[in-house]
Amino acid sequence: MTEQSTPAFPTPHIKASPSDFAKTVLMPGDPLRAKFIAEHFLENAKCINEVRGMLGFTGKYKGEDVTVFASGMGMPSMGIYAYELYNIFGVERIIRIGTTGAISEKVKVRDIIFAMGACTNSNFAVQYGLDGSFAPTADFYLLKSAVEEADKAGVRYHVGNILTSDHFYVDTPEQTMKWAKMGVLSTEMESAALYMTAARAGKSALAMYTVSDSLVTGESTNADERQSSFTDMMRIALETAIK
């Protein structure tokens, strides 16, 4: 397999320079969630990207530089932004903060999940030419730090395996629920791409999620809550970012 040469900045997706970024990036999918975090948690936040509506901001949290940058939805979008942040803009750590749908009976709406591993039904790893299945996992030290912060905050959380799916609308929903038999906690659409991209770049990644709905009970939160109210997760990610 022929490796691609690394392009220069700015890219077609990010109009910025490496100096605009902190070494740690918080990465929600929703650009408006990035804007919410910048406005409510960061001091002197500066908008560093607006290309394609994918908002990014860098500011101070407790005196330390932190960037928050949206990824969009799905593995292809995450793959683009994570690749460019790691390989072009010099970012060392990405902490994904998003929402997820519970498929385990023990997981409740508004719980927090730390994705120790990310199963997937995607062929994202084919590009690496491996003779088998790659197991995408979080960075241990980021995971350990985040769990410590969750303990301090006294929030309800789970650590385990999640499913990164290529599909939001599934033709046979029962296929998704089969993953629960293997102890998989929830489903989302980005983590496996982030973990694989981090592994290939030799960088660090962690994905954490607030459970926005349950495929088991049918309970769900609304769009406004998903955008702005999951502040426990945001604070845990910010505290982890500055450790």
Task: Provide the annotated active-site residues.
Answer: 213
For 100-133, letters b (16+ CB in 10 Å) and e give bbbbbeebebbbbbbbbbbbbebebbeeeeeeee
| Non-local CB neighbours of 37 within 8 Å, separated by 6+ positions | 26, 28, 57, 68, 234, 238
Residue 57 φ then ψ, to 5°: -140, 145
| Non-local CB neighbours of 106 within 8 Å, separated by 6+ positions | 158
User: With contact defined as beta carbons under 8 Å apart, do 17 and 11 qualify?
Assistant: no
CA angle 175, 180, 182 (to 5 degrees): 110
HEC letters along 115-140: EEEEEECCCHHHHHCCCCCCCCECCH
Give kind and range of the element (H or E) at residue 113. strand 112-120
Cα 44 to Cα 2: distance, rounded to the nearest angstrom = 43
Query: What is Dmax (Cα atoms) for the chain?
Result: 49
Tokens (6 digits) for 81: 């932004």
Tokens (6 digits) for 122: 């995607």
